[in-house]
Every structure is written in structure tokens, then in C-alpha cells.
A = this chain, B = another copy of it.
């Protein structure tokens, strides 16, 4: 007799994003998701009306986590440089702990309302961090010879790139990788005021 597995929408979203991240959202079908979850397509439609609705749920997770960082105490107190360092390290940690959601988020191309909304929220996140970089540049805490928006793209680009190779339980712990990202980004972007 087969065990009935109670499936909630969060587990279905987990399974769906593992597939979206691996295969691409457009190439993945609800049939693929159902098969991987070991349930029927009908059970999935019991929870969500469409594949796009599943996409929206997972992208929400990633975006909520990213915006959550901006509300953390260490992102709100201290120098602009200290707040930025906290944000970079936490974004790296979230990228590793939610790598399926984050890697799908990085790849959305604006093919639907869901994708366009996610892109807009991601741009809003970058704009907030860029403001903070401008503040740090004005204070001499971050080098001013690289445009703030470019600097943000490159620093997060380094952090984002871990989705390509990071696997939980691998040789290098996530905390060590996040510290390395913060170290390379900042000892590179520090302005004269930060140097000995």
C-alpha cells in the first residue's frame, strides 16, 4: 500500500523551484513538477491556478528575504560602510540558502507580469543599496572612482555567481564563502578613509 504524502503548497514550491532552476522556467512543465513531487497535476492545481502562480510564490520568497535584510538592525545602524558590509554578507548567505529561488530570480527576463514585477522589485532593491553606496562614497568610506550603480552590480554579481557552483554540504561552508565575498568586495571597494 502506498503511503499518502500530505503535500502543502510550500513543498510543491520547493520541488517546482528545484526544477525551474535546473531546467529553466519556460522549459519546465506542471507535469514535470507533479512527477518530481510524486503527486498528480490535479493536486497541484488544488493549491495554485498556474505555473506562473508557483513562480510568483518562489520569487516572493527570494525577494522577501532580500528586502528583509534591509530591515535587520545591522543594516540600519553604523556607518554606511558597515551597513553595506552587513547587506553584502547577508545577501550572499541568502543566495546560498535559497539558491533555487535566487537563481530563478536572476534569470527572469520579463516574459509575464510576474516576471516584470519581480524584476522591478529587484531593481528597487539595487536602487536602495546604490543610495547607500553613494552615501559611503560621499563619506570617503567607499572608493569613488567606480560609479555606484556599477559597483553594486559587480559586488552582487560576485555574490550571485555562487548559485552556479555552491552546493550545501560541500567542502567550503556557506559562512566561509560569505566571508570571502565580503572580504574581496570590501577590501576592493574601500576608499582611502578605510585604509591603514
Contacts and interface: CB of A to CB of B under 8 A. Distances in A.
Interface in A122-150: 143, 145-147, 150
A145 B195 CA distance: 18
A2 interface: no
A172 B157 contact: no
Interface size class of A (residues with CB under 8 A): 35 or more
Interface in A142-196: 143, 145-147, 150-151, 153-158, 160-162, 164-165, 172, 176-177, 180-181, 183-190, 195-196
Interface in A49-98: none
- What is the total number of copies of this protein in its complex? 2
Q: Which 9 pairs show the lowest CB-CB distances between chains A and B?
A: A157-B161, A188-B188, A158-B158, A184-B188, A187-B188, A27-B27, A146-B180, A24-B24, A157-B158
Contacts of A143: 183, 187
